Amino acid sequence: MSVRILALVGSLRAGSHNRQLAEAAVKLAPEGAEIELFEGLADIPFYNEDIDVEGDVPAAAARLREAVAGVDALLLFSPEYNGTIPAVLKNAIDWLSRPFGASSISAKPLAVVGTAYGQFGGVWAQDETRKAAGIAGAKVLEDVKLSIPGSVVRFAETHPSDDAEVTAQLAEVIAQLHGQANSPVAA
């Protein structure tokens, strides 16, 4: 049985280095694992309990919940916007945290990685993402980290999948996430 991992990217920009990093992850999936890049975070309305009504949940939010319910683990890619998590990624976590006590993210192994222009590679945003996902109920792999600094320069002419150091580190993250998702405790 293959482990299914869903990747969520916190940047909507067409040339996003985090999206490129997610694309590299898809290629690096080890045997026995499949990584799917979720499309559609931009279509999900901001979380509002008034519109989160059973049987009438906005279609884009319902699609996200269904996608997460159908996978074994999550891999989140977070850039850093003004020192914190991008709104689109936080919004996805908010939708996934509901319904309270029965959310699709509950107990799913989850790792957060990313790249940013700054010298720390988005560490603050990734820490905030881990915090929000953990509160939402995910089984956050706190020690599985990858923060790549200087994205604008480092990936100016090189796709992350062509950077040997990045692919080695990303492959290790994926292997650890795969191991957690594949363990009997994760099920």
**How many Cα atoms within 13 Å fall on the side-chain side of residue 27?**
13
The pLDDT value given to residue 186 = 46
Contact, 125 vs 80, CB < 8 A?
Answer: yes
Domain total of the chain: 1
The pLDDT value given to residue 161 = 94
* Domain contains 136: yes
SS3 77: strand
C-alpha to C-alpha distance for 12 and 160, rounded to whole angstroms: 17
* Domain contains 187: no
DSSP symbols for 29-55: PPTTEEEEE---GGGSPPP-TTT--TT
Maximum CA extent, the chain: 47
The parent domain of residue 99 ranges over 3-182
The pLDDT value given to residue 42 = 97
Cα–Cα distance list, 161 to 35, 37, 171 (Å)? 15, 15, 11
* Domain contains 18: yes
The two tokens of residue 36 are 């799917």
* Domain contains 105: yes
Residue 12 sits in a domain whose CATH number is: 3.40.50.360
* Domain contains 154: yes
pLDDT tens-digit profile, the chain (187 residues): 699 999 999 999 989 999 999 999 999 999 999 999 999 999 999 999 999 999 999 999 999 999 999 999 999 999 999 999 999 999 999 999 999 888 999 999 999 999 999 888 899 999 999 999 999 999 999 999 999 998 988 898 999 999 999 999 999 999 999 999 987 654 4
Q: Taking CA 156 as the corner, what is the angle to CA 152 and CA 161, rounded to the nearest 5 degrees?
A: 100
* Domain contains 144: yes
